[in-house]
Structure 1
Amino acid sequence: MNRTFALILILLALGLIAYNVTLVDFENPIQGDSTIALIGIVASLCAIVLMLIFMTSKKIDKKLKK
């Protein structure tokens, strides 16, 4: 997996976060579709964190091989 693919996945996750924020009812955030939207936001944030960890590990691996 190269860097551009990882960046595309991060951008898609950010897009999903933006979409899910529009679905959240901030007056009742734990009822109905708002709960599903909050789960989607958390899942997208987890995907971003995992991709950043993956990119960092690739950088470390590249430096160790030199």
Structure 2
Amino acid sequence: MKVSVDQEKCVGSGQCVLAADDVFDQRDEDGLVDLLNPSPPESRLADVRHAAAVCPAAAILVQD
């Protein structure tokens, strides 16, 4: 799995962090998404897909 984020789209809602805090974080200076692990293990697929689904800005892309 490969994960990417578009910080230009991010609105800093933090839903991704709630869904998968080992893959996503928020930057201290502006609250925008910070991708911690662009290649998480397959065991995290459901949570990462959930993070992408609940992102209000559609700023997360998940590729299998």
TM-score in terms of structure 2 length: 0.31
**TM-score, reference length from structure 1:** 0.30
More helix by share: 1
Which structure carries more relative contact order (alpha carbon 8 Å, separation 6+)? 2
Name whichever structure is richer in strand by fraction: 2
Tell me which structure has the larger Cα radius of gyration: 1
